Structure 1
Amino acid sequence: MTMPTLDARLEAVLGLICTDVHADIGSDHARLPVRLVREGRVRRCIAVELNPGPLEQARRSVARSRLEAQIEVREGDGFGPILPGEVGSASLCGMGAHTIRRILERAGERLPSVLIVQPNDSALLLRLWAWAAGYHVCAEHLIVGYWPYPVLRLDRASGPDPAYEGLSLDAALKYGPLLLRAGGEALVQQIRDDIVRLQKVAAPGRESWQELETAKTALAATSSGIK
């Protein structure tokens, strides 16, 4: 049976998941759950979808794959259909960071210990949420597509997040502590693009001035080879 095709950002998400039971929040077509089960990365998956069209799409995808015994499609908003302690990890992909953060904030005791998030914009809000909520940044990718897509794995842990040690906090929250340490081409290009854009509007006393300084600090960190 043919494996569902995933784009590069969801392939990156796929590679960060390995658990017994996983929840894909806002699953849309449910291709990610199908791949997770087919590849043996999870034993069971719960695909959650709120909107009627994508919900039906997910159900059809699971039926075509003949995986109804291992993938359950549930209708609902965010973690609402998930019981506390029911899943070991959850993914939230293809939404804005504001939307993802609101879902996480409402989840309460339903939140699992591992989260994989892929916002369609800056991950700053999600790193700030993780910092305050007791999750550490354990993996980060920046996937080039229509724009750079950040992909993060967040694991619940105690104490300060060691990923940020020795880095400018503002730069690391904005661009990603592990991404800064890796200094990949996609991140360096993103930072340079930000500097060019901000130099046109930045002036002392404006928020854009601080953003420019943060971008310059981030670029210096990638150039210094911090590990």
Structure 2
Amino acid sequence: MPTLDARLEAALHLIRADVHADIGSDHAALPVELVRRGHARRAVVVELTPGPLAVARGAVARAGLTDRIDVRAGDGFAPLAPGEADSASMTGMGARTILGILARAGETAPHALVLQPNDAPGLLRAWALAHGHHLVAERLAAGFWTYPVLRFERCPGPDPAYAGLSRAAAVKYGPHLLRAADPLLLAQVRADVARLTPLARPGRPAQDELVAAHDALEWCSNHRQ
């Protein structure tokens, strides 16, 4: 059974549930560790294609957890009954793939979501702001590149995480990460400033991105502990 890499370890620490669903689990390492370590009493693994489905079933069987982890074939949240899971995770996917799965989820999506996109986390933060989800926690994990891990919960009203921050900077880089002046985030922001500066011109998208990067850098510089 593989151990968790840094990004899945970060996801694990944002999950506490009675029943947790892992969508597109592949090797089932995350749900196995969730159950083993007591972060979830039960888990449901959903896989669309036969190869990963077989890998997940084999991993659960080798862990001796077939009575607590149910591996199901299907697309996204379709194999879940409404209200069956308390929370769900999607890791190792592009942000647009995650958004497509969420768009098809309907009433089967639980109130809590832990998402680890391989790109463009700002798209997920923007989706949450538009769909009644608050960003309650986020982490960065080092790896092949820097992986964001985000926990959203369905809540009424404006998301307080964004109060007092530049909205563009917070959506792009993460309000909790900005407030913490996370070192991995600072490295990312500085790299963005260096990359965008020669590209930025009035009216170009790079100009807006550069303004957000400068806002993020200024916030972190002024609020570092």
What interval of TM-score do these two structures reach, taking the shorter chain for normalisation?
over 0.9
Q: Is the 8 A contact 1:4 1:34 kept in 2?
A: no
TM-score, scaled to structure 2: 0.98
Q: CA deviation at 1:226?
A: 7.5
Q: In the aligned structure 1, how far is the partner of 2:146 from the partner of 2:198?
A: 21
Q: Is the 8 A contact 1:122 1:150 kept in 2?
A: no
Structure 2 partner of 1:222: 220
Structure 2 partner of 1:42: 40
Q: In the aligned structure 2, how far is the partner of 1:200 from the partner of 1:77?
A: 43
What is the aligned length?
Answer: 225
Between the two proteins, what is the percent identity of the paired residues? 59
Please point out which of 110, 116, 119 is paired with 1:118: 116
Please point out which of 83, 87, 91 is paired with 1:93: 91
Please point out which of 35, 60, 75 is paired with 1:62: 60
Secondary structure of the equivalent of 1:43? strand
Q: In the aligned structure 1, how far is the partner of 2:78 from the partner of 2:166?
A: 37
Q: In the aligned structure 2, how far is the partner of 1:30 from the partner of 1:187?
A: 29
TM-score, scaled to structure 1: 0.97
Q: CA deviation at 1:41?
A: 1.1
The letter of the residue matching 1:122 is A
CA RMSD, 1 decimal: 1.1
Q: In the aligned structure 2, how far is the partner of 1:71 from the partner of 1:195?
A: 45
Q: In the aligned structure 1, how far is the partner of 2:162 from the partner of 2:183?
A: 20
Q: CA deviation at 1:219?
A: 0.6
- Where structure 1 has 5 or more consecutive residues not aligned to the other structure, the ranges are none
Structure 2 partner of 1:72: 70
Following TM superposition, the consecutive aligned residue runs of length 4 or more in structure 1 with deviations greater than 4 angstroms are none
Structure 1 partner of 2:6: 8
The letter of the residue matching 2:90 is L
- Where structure 2 has 5 or more consecutive residues not aligned to the other structure, the ranges are none
Structure 1 partner of 2:155: 157
Q: CA deviation at 1:184?
A: 1.2
Structure 2 partner of 1:30: 28
Please point out which of 155, 164, 183 is paired with 1:185: 183
Q: Is the 8 A contact 1:29 1:54 kept in 2?
A: yes
Q: Deviation per CA, 1:90-125: give whole Å up to 9, x if none.
A: 000000000001111110111101100000012011
Distance 1:40 1:4, change over 3 A: farther
